[in-house]
Amino acid sequence: AALAAVEREVVDCRACPRLVEWRELVAREKRAAFRDEEYWGRPVPGFGDPDARVVVIGLAPAAHGANRTGRMFTGDRSGDWLYRAMWRTGFANQPTSEHRDDGLRLTDAWITAPVRCAPPQNKPTPEERDTCRPYIERELEILDRARTYVVLGAFGYGVACGLLGVRPRPRFAHGLEVPLGDGRTLLGSYHVSQQNTFTGKLTEQMLDDVFVRARALADL
Ligand code: DU
């Protein structure tokens, strides 16, 4: 119920003029391959198991991914990588994530992002990041079973460190583990963006290892 309340507020948010304009422009213009689809074109709520012990923190919706489908990491190549890994490691009931009614369910995992609107160049401004932060802050408060926070990339890492009280902040790295002192752990991973997966900077094995480790750290 508390998560549903955050979700309702998120999807109605119009706080950042630049992001509202961009998400709606992309949704009107579309990509040729999706020209017959109705784009979501709104902020994207978190998704998954309300009792999650593992919380995955990304960056922001992709213009033609979550900004099209309305569900985190759904309908693009980043999501293909993420959900396949989460399926192989037992968090997702299926390897694919195509649209909001495809039957995908997560068990023990929740996926969210510090910024809820697709930003130009996948790059929110510091002001947009700070304006959006209360949404993930409230989600993390509600998700009080969480034991492992898997942070995809340096942007989410910075926000997560702020919210989880990590100070001083270790340099971000793939495989970085930051114990939070109370049995919870922040776990760093390279982001699943094509910049990393196409170039081999992030391999499927590396991503699987992150989720296997997340599972162990969460006593799952
Ligand atoms: O209506 P519902 O069973 O609470 O599911 C809402 C929504 O959240 C649906 O898209 C499935 C997803 N979900 C999940 O992935 N894992 C859960 O444990 C519960 C719900």
Q: What is the 3-state secondary structure (H, E, C) of the chain?
A: CHHHHHHHHHHCCCCCHHHHHHHHHHHHHCCHHHCCCCCCCCCCCCEECCCCCEEEECCCCCCCCHHHHCCCCCCCHHHHHHHHHHHHCCCECCCCCCCCCCCCCECCEEEECCCCCCCHHHCCCHHHHHHHHHHHHHHHHHCCCCCEEEEECHHHHHHHHHHHCCCCCCCCCCCCEEECCCCCEEEEECCCCHHHHCCCCCCHHHHHHHHHHHHHHCCC
Average pLDDT along the chain: 98
pLDDT, residue 77, reads 98
Helix 77-88 / helix 204-217 crossing angle, nearest 10 deg: 50
pLDDT, residue 104, reads 99
What residue owns the CA closest to ligand 1's atom 17?
49
What residue owns the CA closest to ligand 1's atom 19?
49
Residue pair 19/124 in contact by the 8 Å Cβ criterion: yes
**Residue 218 tokens, joined:** 């969460």
ipTM of the complex: 0.90
pLDDT, residue 54, reads 99
pLDDT single digits (tens) 114-161:
999 999 999 999 999 999 999 999 999 999 999 999 999 999 999 999
Which residue in this structure is represented by tokens 């094995």? 205
For the chain, domain boundaries: 2-217
Residue numbers in the chain where pLDDT is lower than 70: none
Q: Are strands 185-189 and 177-179 parallel, antiparallel or unpaired?
A: antiparallel
pLDDT, residue 79, reads 98
Q: What is the CATH number of domain 2-217?
A: 3.40.470.10
Rounded to the nearest angstrom, the distance between the alpha carbon of 48 and the centre of ligand 1 is 6
Amino acid, single-letter form, for residue 18? R
What residue owns the CA closest to ligand 1's atom 6?
48
Rounded to the nearest angstrom, the distance between the alpha carbon of 201 and the centre of ligand 1 is 32
Rounded to the nearest angstrom, the distance between the alpha carbon of 173 and the centre of ligand 1 is 32
Residue pair 76/62 in contact by the 8 Å Cβ criterion: yes
pLDDT, residue 203, reads 98
Report d(CA 74, CA 102) in Å as an integer.
Answer: 10
131: Cβ contacts below 8 Å, ≥ 6 apart:
15, 16
Q: Ligand 1: which atom is nearest the Cα of residue 106? A: 15
